Amino acid sequence: MKDLTINEFVEGFKNDENAVIIDVRTPEEEAEGLIPNSTNMNIMEQSFPAKVMDLDKTKSYYVYCRSGGRSASACQFMDKQGLTVYNLLGGIQAWNSFNS
């Protein structure tokens, strides 16, 4: 697991042919905006661990939430499952600032 700044995160997923962007926020929080082409996997749902177990271990996962806390927790869990994961420091708030 590695924490990335917004610039590192964007550079990473743009240059990684195996990149998958994961949004771990609740569906209600998605109203604050999304990173294009991201997949929602709500960390608050009971099914989250099972969904993680089904992920392709050949991919790289770029994970974000609102501000970086829940995505850090998600990344720790995903890392323990043998996945390559990157946490966006500052979450969607950093993304929105970067794109404004």
Burial class of residue 97 in the structure, from the number of CB atoms within 10 Å of its CB (0-12 exposed, 13-18 middle, 19+ buried): exposed
Q: What is the pLDDT of residues 9-46, one digit of tens each?
A: 999 999 999 999 999 999 999 887 899 999 999 999 99
Give the E-state strand segments of 1-100 in sequence order: 2-4, 19-23, 39-40, 60-64, 84-88
Count other C-beta atoms under 10 Å from residue 53's C-beta. Answer: 10
| CA distance linking residue 65 with residue 42, whole number of Å | 9
Residue in 65, 72, 85, 92 annotated catalytic: 65
Which class does domain 2-98 fall in? Answer: alpha beta
Domain segments of the chain as ranges = 2-98
75 assigned to active site: no
Confidence of residue 100 (pLDDT cuts 50, 70, 90): confident
Q: Strand pairing partners for 64?
A: 23
Q: What percent of the chain has pLDDT over 90?
A: 93
| CA distance linking residue 7 with residue 62, whole number of Å | 13
